[in-house]
Amino acid sequence: MLTHHRKPVCLSLISTDLPVWSVVETAGTLYQKDTNRFHLLLTAPPLISCEVGGLINPEDALPQSHNHLHVPSSPRILWLEISPYRVIMTMQGNAQVSYRHFWEQGVYGISRYWLPTEALQSHEPIRLRNFTKSLSLSGHPLPEHLRLEYELWTNKVQLGRYILNLEIQH
């Protein structure tokens, strides 16, 4: 039987070799599918994009007055399918970047990214591979901590090493 619980959640992603760091603290809804399978649904704040039209003086790096910040009106939905053996994370944003990651320890999974429709001529996703070095899930009967360590690859070029950390407070 499907049961659900509303919980405070902290989801962080850091790169161990690149200047990438992101933290989302929000409330999430944890659905228990069966003994060791869970779905976590949470809302992340919208992405903020900065559009720069040009510079008056490149040495001074002073932006022109027509530059602006654009804050999309709708939040992003994150959906995680969690088990002790694999994790699937899907992010959907209204006309924003969307993605889907598949992680399983010791396996090359697929990461797909969909860009806004005006950014690409075709609507095909960008496909990357990720290699999951470690996956640990703790907490009983409900998960409390998930840690994923993985590498992101395109063909034979590594695009960084990452740690995804999820804490679900009880």
In a domain, 28, yes or no: yes
Residue 59 forms part of a structural domain: no
Residue 29 in any domain: the answer is yes
123-127, 143-147, 162-166: segment of lowest average pLDDT: 123-127
* pLDDT at position 158 over 90: yes
Mean pLDDT of 94-122: 82
Total domains in the fold of the chain: 1
Per-residue pLDDT band at 66 (split at 50, 70, 90): very low
> Residue 132 domain-assigned?
yes
Q: Is residue 38 part of a domain?
A: yes
Task: Output the pLDDT for position 48.
Answer: 57
pLDDT of 146 > 70? The answer is yes
Q: Is residue 15 part of a domain?
A: yes
Q: Which of the residue ranges 46-50, 101-105, 159-163 would you say has the lowest mean pLDDT?
A: 46-50
In-domain check, residue 149: yes
Give the model's confidence band at 95: pLDDT under 50 very low, under 70 low, under 90 confident, else very high.
low
**pLDDT at residue 124, rounded to an integer:** 80
Burial class (CB in 10 A: 0-12, 13-18, 19+), 158: exposed
pLDDT digits (tens, 9 = 90+) for 16-55: 999 999 999 999 999 999 889 999 999 876 655 544 444 4
* 148 inside domain: yes
CATH number, domain containing residue 127:
2.40.128.20
pLDDT tens for each residue of 116-138 = 766 555 668 899 999 999 999 99
Structural domain span for residue 126: 3-45+69-168
Of 112, 113, 82, 101, residue with least CA distance to 150:
101
pLDDT at 74: 66
Q: Which residues contact 107 (CB under 8 A, 6 or more apart)?
A: 131, 132
**What is the per-residue pLDDT for 76?**
80
